[in-house]
Amino acid sequence: MAFDLNKRQYVDYKVYSVLKLKDKYGFKIKLIYDDKTEEIQQRGGFNSKKEANDNRNVVIAELYNKSFVIEQKIKTEKFLIDWLENEVKKKLSYNSYISYRNVVFNYMIPHFKNLYINNLNKGHIQSFYNSTAQKYKSIARLSKAVIKSSMQYASKINIISSNPALDVELPKCIKKKKSRELVINTEKTLSLEQIKILINESKDTPIHFHILFAVLMGMRRSEILGLKYSDIDFIHRKIKVQRQLGVDPNISKEECKKKTYTKQEINVKTFSSKRELDIPDIVFEAILEERKKYEERRKRRINDKTNPFQDLNYICCSTYGKPRSKGFHMSYYKEILKLNNLPNIRFHDLRHTYSTLLVMNNYDLKAVSQLMGHATEIITVDRYTDMNSIIVDCLEELEPYIESVIDNTPKCTIKNYTNEIELDFLVEKLLN
C-alpha cells in the first residue's frame, strides 16, 4: 500500500529555543494540524549551541516554505518496496521494472535494511557504491540510477528534505563511458548488398514484414508486433507507432488468457517512441498485398467454431489472426543469415543498420533521432556507437567528431527537422 503522506498537514507551528539535552544541544518543534491536534517533535544531537541554532533557523525556513519534512519512522526497505510497486511498476516497462527490482531486493535492501529513510545520507550511499563496485561494475552503474531516482521521489513526496544521492559519484574503478564520438561498427550492421539479400530471401517466410519494418523503417521488434492496419493512413502513406506487445507488469499471468501474457498491448518505450513514419513504396505495396491475404483468411474461417479467426487487426499475425510472439522470428531469421552467408548479427542490429545508413547518407542527427523514436538526438549517436552516456543539447560539439570518424562522408549538418522526409531514395539504393 502506498504511503498516505498527505493525510495530515500542519496549519501552524512553534519552534522553541535551543536547550541542553543530556550532553548535547537540541530544540523542540510544535506542529498544529487542521483538526486542532498538536504534535511535538524534537531535533537533537548537536555538539554546540551554535550548531543547534543554525539547524533551528533552517527548520523555521522549511516550516515557513511548507517544505518541512514531518518525521516518519519509515524504514528504507519499506520505502523502496513501495516505490517499486507504486511508481516504477506503473511507469516503466516490464524489463526496466525487473532490472530495478533486482537492484533493490538483491543489493539495496540488504545494505540499507535497518536504516530509516530520513537518516540516509551521502556517506551511506557512497559506502554502498564502493561495496557494490567491488563485485559488479554493471550493477553499480545501474544502482546509481536507481538510488538517484528513488531518492528524488522521496524528496518529491516530502519524506526527506533533500536528495542525499546528489553529487555522490561511483568509485574511480568504474570509468565513465565516453560520449560525443561517432564510431560506426560495421561488424554489427549489414551493407546495402547484404540488406538486398536479406529482404529478397525473407519474401517466402512469415517474417518478411518483420524484416521490412526493421531495416527500412528502423522499428523495434516489440513495436513491429504491435502494428495494426488501423495505424496506417493509406491516403498519405504514413504509419503511427503507438503501441507495442509485451508484458504489462501490473497484470499477473493468472489474469491473462492462455498464451497472451507476453502479447499484451502496452505503451511504447518512451513518449518520443510514439511517432508517425512515412512508409516507403516497397513496404506500402507489401502491406496492401498482405491485407488482401488477411481478409481472405478472415472470410475463410469466419464459420470455424473449432479455431476461429481472431480479427485483431495485427499486420504481423498468424494465419488465424493471432499476434506473433516475441521470439517467433528468431529461427527463420537465423536460418536466412546462415544460408546466405550473412553476418550473424542480432535482429535488433537491423535497427542499428537503418540508423547507420541514414547518418552515412547525410541525414542530420535530429532527423534520425525522431525517426528512431529517441528522446534526444544524442541518444541516437550514443546507442549506435556502443556508448551509454547521454549528453543533451551539445550537437554543435559533435560535428568535428562525425567529420573525423566517417572518412569521405559529407558532414552531418545540424538543422531543424520537419516531418516531411523522403526515404524512398534509400530504398531505391537498396533494391536497384
Q: Which CATH number fits domain 195-339: 1.10.443, 3.40.50, 1.10.1330, 1.10.8?
A: 1.10.443
Answer whether residue 1 shows pLDDT above 80. Answer: no
Tens of pLDDT, residues 2-20: 555 444 578 899 999 999 9
Tens of pLDDT, residues 259-300: 888 899 988 877 788 999 999 889 999 999 999 999 999 999
C-alpha cell at 106: 538483491
Tens of pLDDT, residues 90-134: 887 777 888 899 999 999 999 998 898 888 889 999 999 999 988
Answer whether residue 358 shows pLDDT above 50. Answer: yes
Mean pLDDT of 390-395: 29
pLDDT of residue 397: 34
**C-beta of residue 243 within 8 angstroms of C-beta of residue 267:** yes
pLDDT of residue 376: 62
Q: What percent of the chain has pLDDT over 70?
A: 80
pLDDT of residue 419: 35
Mean pLDDT of 24-48: 88
**Which DSSP helix (H) or strand (E) runs through 284?**
helix 281-300
Answer whether residue 80 shows pLDDT above 80. Answer: yes
Mean pLDDT of 75-88: 91
Strand order in the sheet with 275-278: 232-233, 238-241, 275-278
Contacts (Cβ under 8 Å, ≥6 apart) of 94: 246, 247, 248, 249, 266
pLDDT of residue 174: 76
Report how far residue 330's alpha carbon sits from residue 207's, in angstroms, rounded to the nearest whole number.
9
Q: What residue type is assigned to position 342 of the chain?
A: L
C-alpha cell at 169: 559519484
Residue 337 has a CB neighbour count (10 Å cut-off) of: 19
C-alpha cell at 140: 553499480
| Buried b or exposed e, range 339-357, using 16+ CB within 10 angstroms | eeebeebebebbbbbbbbb
Answer whether residue 231 shows pLDDT above 80. Answer: yes
Confidence band (pLDDT; 50, 70, 90) for 176? low
Tens of pLDDT, residues 396-427: 333 332 233 233 333 333 233 333 334 444 45
pLDDT of residue 2: 53
How do beta strands 38-46 and 232-233 pair?
unpaired
**Which DSSP helix (H) or strand (E) runs through 278?**
strand 275-278
pLDDT of residue 411: 34
CATH topology of domain 76-156: DNA polymerase; domain 1 (1.10.150)
pLDDT of residue 43: 84
Against a cut of 0.75, is the pTM above it?
no
Report how far residue 147's alpha carbon sits from residue 80's, in angstroms, rounded to the nearest whole number.
9
pLDDT of residue 399: 36
Please report, for the chain, the start and end positions of each structural domain, with discontinuous segments joined by +. 10-64, 76-156, 195-339, 349-431
Backbone dihedral region of 408: left (phi > 0), alpha (psi from -120 to 50 degrees) or beta?
Answer: left
Answer whether residue 63 shows pLDDT above 50. Answer: yes
pLDDT of residue 33: 85
pLDDT of residue 26: 92
C-alpha cell at 57: 533557523
